[in-house]
């Protein structure tokens, strides 16, 4: 039987990385060291602060250029981007959407907004994202393939889409999941809310699915205050996203005509101005965050019972949030570590509560989730702000 993990040694090594910086230390703080004041002041001085103005289109173009996609559509937040993506993908009420149990609740909530049914699948310890091999075996047993698509043998509902999530910025292994989507006639959507600046096999995430989504919440690698985006290589679909996100208003110099039910989802110019200044600094943010990840990895490399999660061999991660991963036999020490770090002014957090454990999703269909349940017990996110590397 192994000895208990050395909690105080963990604390000493954590402080060795973080001690140069004033405590308390938040989990992930925004960094405003560029043109944020100048650009937002231009909005205030001009009066163009809402959904019209030059910075919205400028932000979208810079975002498309950085990620390499044809079109980016700036929206009010990442949840709205997921909601709109599901509608654009044609997912219908009553259909099932496969998604990880280990994800932020917005992924499941967006499915619920369109009255579809979340269907939870397991994750891989190698990527923290969906386990393609386990999902393949599950689909062989559960899915019935017809001319109209794949159907759940037990519920009779069509399985229309798969949402993958790049957990804490680490890209999931997309290629085998794309193969499964082709085989089972499912649409793939990438929830890349945490993964701006992450790459899969040398290409920025967001190119694998029909549509992909980003978040620019205050704790993301860049922020617009509140904000999100849809990425698409289909110009027509991007145009539809812009139309729906502006209340489906038909362009006209003065008339208010709307041709379908739309949404007030467009990003305001003031937020986009902030985003433009942040995007200018993104390469430097990524460089600093990858250096911080290396420092954590070096600090904990010789300590038994834990490890700092590292990117997969096919990936280049933005390391949005660094992950301290306990060995399973030490998972009971997680809450003690969380308590000690908070007492020392170091904000840490566990993984999200798994979706199937939440009251509104407890009766949704799901596969065996043993890996996700293990990861939930063992993950501790560490402070990961870019300013922690000077």
Q: Within this chain, do residues 46 and 182 fall inside the same structural domain, yes or no?
A: yes
Average confidence (pLDDT) over 101-129: 98
Which of 255, 280, 305 is the last residue before a domain boundary? 280
Buried b (16+ CB within 10 A) or exposed e, 225-261: bbbbbbbbbeeebbebbbbbbbbeeeeeeeeeeeeee
What number is the average pLDDT over the span 362-371? Answer: 98
- Asked whether residue 130 falls in the same domain as residue 45, the answer is yes
Q: Quick one: average pLDDT of 76-95? A: 98
Residues 286 and 307 in one domain: yes
DSSP class of residue 375 equals: H
Q: Is 296 within a domain?
A: yes
How many whole angstroms separate alpha carbon 34 and alpha carbon 302? 38
Number of domains comprising the chain: 2
Q: What is the helix (H) or strand (E) element at residue 325, kind and residue range?
A: strand 322-326
Q: Is residue 42 part of a domain?
A: yes
Residues in the chain: 390
Residues 121 and 261 in one domain: yes
Distance (Å, rounded) from C-alpha 344 to C-alpha 347? 9
What φ, ψ does residue 172 adopt, rounded to 5°? -75, 160
118, 133, 278: which is closest to 191 by C-alpha?
118
Rounded Cα distance between 290 and 217, Å, is: 20
- Distance set, CA 8 to CA 125, 256, 348 (Å): 26, 64, 16
Any domain includes 2: no
Same structural domain, 267 and 285: no
Q: What is the pLDDT of residues 17-40, one digit of tens each?
A: 999 999 999 999 999 999 999 999
Same domain, residue pair 93 and 159: yes
Q: Indicate which CATH number applies to the domain containing 82.
A: 3.40.640.10
Q: Which of the listed residues 280, 299, 330 is the one where a domain comes to its end?
A: 280
Q: What is the pLDDT of residue 389?
A: 95
Query: Do the domain assignments include residue 159?
Result: yes
The pLDDT value given to residue 53: 86
Of 246, 265, 280, which residue constitutes the final position of a domain?
A: 280
Instruction: Please give the average per-residue pLDDT across 365-373, as a whole number.
Output: 98
Question: CA–CA separation, 97 vs 247, rounded Å?
Answer: 26
What digits encode the pLDDT tens for the residues 314-359? Answer: 999 999 999 999 999 999 999 999 999 999 999 999 999 999 999 9
**Domain extent at residue 327:** 7-31+281-353+378-388
Provide mean pLDDT across the span 148-168: 98
pLDDT digits (tens, 9 = 90+) for 219-258: 999 999 999 999 999 999 999 999 999 999 999 999 999 9
Contacts of 301 (CB under 8 A, 6+ apart): 308
Residues 6 or more apart whose Cβ sits within 8 Å of residue 37: none
Distance CA 101, CA 375 (A): 11
For residue 88, being part of any structural domain is answered with yes
366: in domain: no
Interatomic CA distance for residues 117 and 97, integer angstroms:
6
State residue 5's pLDDT score: 83
> In this structure, are 251 and 305 located in the same domain?
no
Q: Quote the percentage of the chain above a pLDDT of 70.
A: 99
Both 208 and 241 in a single domain?
yes
- 348: DSSP letter: -
Say if 288 falls within a structural domain: yes
Higher pLDDT, 229 or 50: 229
CB 89 within 8 A of CB 161: yes
Same domain, 17 and 55: no
Residue 372 lies in a domain: no
């Amino acid at each position: 039987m192994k000895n208990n993990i050395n909690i105080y040694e963990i604390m000493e090594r954590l402080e060795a990385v973080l001690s140069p910086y004033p405590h308390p230390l938040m989990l992930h703080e925004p960094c405003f060291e560029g043109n944020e004041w100048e650009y937002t002041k231009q909005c205030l001085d001009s009066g163009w602060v809402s959904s019209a103005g030059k910075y919205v289109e400028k932000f979208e173009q810079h975002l498309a250029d950085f990620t390499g996609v044809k079109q980016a559509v700036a929206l009010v937040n990442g949840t709205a981007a997921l909601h709109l993506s599901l509608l654009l993908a044609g997912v219908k009420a009553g259909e099932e959407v496969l998604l990880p149990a280990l994800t932020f609740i917005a992924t499941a909530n967006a499915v619920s907004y369109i009255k579809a049914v979340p269907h939870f699948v397991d994750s891989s310890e190698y990527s923290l994202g969906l386990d393609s091999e386990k999902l393949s075996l599950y689909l062989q047993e559960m899915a019935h393939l017809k001319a109209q698509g794949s159907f759940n043998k037990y519920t009779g509902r069509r399985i229309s889409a798969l949402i993958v999530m790049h957990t804490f910025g680490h890209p999931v292994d997309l290629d085998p999941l794309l193969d499964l989507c082709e085989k089972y006639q499912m649409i793939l959507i990438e929830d890349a809310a945490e993964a701006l600046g992450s790459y899969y096999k040398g290409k920025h995430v967001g190119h694998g699915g029909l549509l992909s989504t980003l978040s620019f919440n205050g704790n993301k690698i860049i922020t617009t205050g509140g904000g999100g985006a849809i990425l698409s290589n289909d110009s027509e679909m991007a145009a539809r996203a812009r139309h729906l996100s502006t209340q489906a208003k038909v362009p006209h110099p003065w008339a208010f005509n709307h041709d379908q039910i739309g949404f007030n989802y467009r990003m305001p110019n003031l937020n986009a101005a902030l985003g433009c200044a942040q995007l200018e600094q993104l390469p430097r943010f990524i460089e600093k965050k990858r250096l911080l990840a290396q420092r954590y990895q070096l600090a904990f490399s010789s300590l038994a019972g834990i490890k700092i999660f590292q990117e997969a061999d096919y990936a280049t991660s933005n390391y949005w949030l660094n992950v301290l991963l306990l060995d399973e036999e030490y998972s009971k020490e997680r809450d003690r570590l969380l308590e000690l770090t908070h007492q020392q002014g170091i904000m840490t957090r566990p993984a999200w509560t798994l979706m199937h454990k939440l009251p509104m999703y407890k009766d949704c269909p799901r596969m065996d989730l043993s890996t996700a349940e293990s990861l939930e017990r063992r993950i501790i996110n560490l402070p990961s702000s870019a300013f922690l590397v000077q």
